[in-house]
């Protein structure tokens, strides 16, 4: 690793209407290093990397690249300079093939015609390097799972032969083996002199893969060039949040009722999962643990009616729900916080209050018309209770950080008064401070009598929040036990063991039917 920075950003300022997103941020990145950029949701990380990528023009400050002052007026300019960015919200085209996405913007061509076979070969080699040769180069991208699409996004960045790659939460949808492959590729890149800016809320990853750390808080740099492997985690959290946060899960404050609220019996969906049965009582949190692609998300989406079951029954308080009907589930008092909150759970261009009040709209209507400001007042009250920031329910939800967007999704079902809440990866892309708040909220909802089903890729999270754990492997529930009888090692053993495939044939890794995320 060299001492001369490949990239130097000095005094970067970026202002949006009513918000100073960056207030004099500094960042140095050396060739051949993994430089970790940390901060809570809303600290300015995403804005900073968009300035670097040419998506935003800074209002003040300077950027030096390879020793020369530069300005990137567009993403194409940053790309041409050798800077590739893998965004948390992937900038891929679902209707194109895997190969077409990999070479998008720099397609191999001759005499003005694209060379598809050459593009396929480029994609195959890069997917092989990433440890995923099973992803077909000519498969339509929209048919891949969230994890598969993340792999394709990484292949696209590698195809650009970049000198610096920015990775924003790259491991959020990956299982442990995929993260291991990712880290192997990162080490290969840095050994060749490529610099990596790595953003993650998983502090254990920072210690494993990082060299140096820069911490942002409220749009300012509060720490620069900390050693990633030796800086105490408590110190990093204190810098990020301005306070000490103990990473503990809230205690249960109310007993679990004997009343069964949600019953799932023999639920099946061809090629995805089969014969899934469980019940959830009022005040109980049931966790689904398993690898990405195991069928966890498909199960909760089918319970909710977003996917139509091939067999089985879902009952709420003894009443069977019509299969494949989201309205029936909502009327029965069920709510879903989906895995992909931006694409599946939010209307990004709409204000916060409209996102919150959407399923409760009938409550505020008079004669078929919305009453003036009635939904705004109700939504504002509940988002204030959840400390959604900024505290402005008229702001477009797309302008909020990931953690605050997740609070908006939860606020929707709080306002609706759901008796059954399905939470799919409720803390994905959420910083440690917001995580603690979401954990407390889940416990609060359970104490109020909600029946909660939670999916998480993080085993400690499942064990820390759930009262009972269902281990899902290859589309089947293979083990059920109270969380107190399990530990992380036992759960990992269960999810990794070989199992009989669903319907006699395994679901291909990284691929989901109907274009839905696993």
pLDDT (tens digit per residue) in 197-227: 999 878 889 999 999 999 998 899 999 999 9
Residue 500: what pLDDT?
Answer: 37
In 3D space, the residue among 40, 51, 53 whose CA is nearest the CA of residue 14 turns out to be 51
In the prediction, which pLDDT does 511 show? 31
Tell me the pLDDT tens digit for each residue of 151-185.
Answer: 898 899 888 888 999 998 888 777 778 888 889 98
Q: Domains in the chain, ordered, with CATH?
A: 5-241 (3.40.50.300), 259-333+418-427+451-511 (3.40.50.300), 342-417 (no CATH)
The rounded distance, in Å, linking the Cα atoms of 256 and 253 is 10
pLDDT at 498 (0 to 100)? 41
Whether a cis peptide bond, with omega within 30° of 0, leads into 390 is yes
How confident is the model at residue 230, as a pLDDT?
Answer: 94
Averaged pLDDT score across all residues of the chain:
86
Scored b (16 or more CB within 10 A) or e, 467-505 reads bbbbbbbbbbbbbeeebeebeeebbeebbeeeeeebbee
Q: If pLDDT is split at 50, 70 and 90, which confidence band does 109 have?
A: low
Res. 406: pLDDT tops 70: yes
DSSP H or E segment with residue 439: helix 432-447
CA-based angle 178:183:188, to the nearest 5? 125
**For residue 353, is pLDDT > 60?**
yes
For 40, the 3-state DSSP assignment is coil
Model confidence over 371-399: pLDDT tens digits?
A: 567 788 888 988 988 888 888 999 999 88
**Plot region of 64 (φ>0 → left; ψ -120 to 50 → alpha; else → beta):** beta
Determine what percent of the chain is predicted with pLDDT higher than 70: 90
């Amino acid at each position: 690793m060299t001492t001369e920075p490949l990239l130097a950003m000095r005094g970067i300022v970026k202002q949006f209407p009513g918000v100073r997103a960056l207030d004099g941020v500094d960042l140095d990145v050396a060739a051949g290093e993994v430089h970790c950029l940390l901060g809570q949701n809303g600290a300015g990380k995403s804005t900073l990397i968009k300035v670097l990528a040419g998506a935003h023009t800074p209002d003040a400050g300077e950027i030096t690249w390879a020793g020369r002052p530069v300005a990137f007026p567009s993403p194409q300019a940053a790309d041409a300079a050798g800077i590739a960015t893998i965004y948390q919200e992937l900038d891929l085209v679902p209707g194109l093939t895997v190969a077409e996405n990999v070479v998008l913007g720099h397609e191999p061509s001759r005499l003005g015609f694209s060379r598809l076979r050459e593009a396929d070969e480029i994609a195959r080699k890069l997917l092989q390097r990433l440890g995923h040769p099973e992803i077909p180069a000519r498969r339509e991208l929209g048919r891949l799972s969230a994890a598969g699409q993340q792999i394709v996004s990484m292949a696209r960045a590698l195809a650009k032969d970049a000198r610096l790659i920015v990775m924003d939460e790259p491991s959020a949808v990956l299982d442990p083996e995929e993260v291991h492959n990712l880290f192997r590729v990162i080490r290969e890149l840095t050994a060749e002199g490529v610099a990596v800016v790595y953003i993650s809320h998983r502090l254990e990853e920072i210690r494993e893969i990082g060299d140096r750390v820069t911490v942002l808080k409220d749009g300012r740099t509060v720490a620069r060039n900390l050693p990633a492997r030796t800086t105490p985690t408590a110190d990093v959290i204190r810098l990020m949040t301005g306070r000490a946060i103990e990473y503990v899960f809230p205690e249960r404050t109310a007993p679990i009722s004997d009343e069964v609220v949600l019953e799932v019996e023999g639920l099946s969906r061809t090629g995805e999962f089969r014969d899934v049965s469980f019940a959830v009582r009022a005040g109980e949190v049931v966790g689904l643990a398993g690898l990405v692609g195991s069928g966890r998300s498909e199960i909760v989406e089918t319970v909710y009616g977003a996917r139509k079951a091939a067999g089985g029954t879902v009952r709420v308080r003894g009443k069977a729900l019509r299969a494949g009907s989201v309205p029936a589930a909502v009327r029965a008092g069920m709510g879903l916080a989906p895995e992909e909150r931006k694409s599946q759970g939010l209307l990004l261009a709409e204000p916060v209050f409209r996102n919150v009040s959407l399923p409760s709209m009938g409550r505020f209507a008079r004669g078929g018309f919305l009453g003036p400001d009635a939904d705004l007042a109700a939504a504002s009250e509940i988002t204030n209770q959840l400390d959604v920031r900024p505290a402005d329910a008229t702001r477009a939800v797309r302008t909020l950080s990931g953690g605050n967007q997740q609070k908006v999704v939860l606020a929707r079902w709080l306002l609706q008064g759901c008796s059954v809440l399905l939470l799919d990866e409720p803390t994905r892309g959420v910083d440690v401070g917001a995580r603690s708040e979401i954990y407390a909220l889940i416990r609060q909802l359970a104490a109020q009598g909600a029946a909660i089903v939670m999916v998480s890729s993080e085993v400690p999270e499942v064990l820390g929040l759930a009262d009972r754990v269902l281990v899902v492997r290859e589309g089947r529930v293979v083990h059920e036990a109270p969380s107190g009888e399990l530990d992380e090692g036992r759960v990992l053993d269960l999810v990794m063991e070989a199992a009989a495939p669903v319907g006699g044939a395994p679901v291909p890794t990284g691929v989901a039917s109907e274009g839905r995320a696993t």
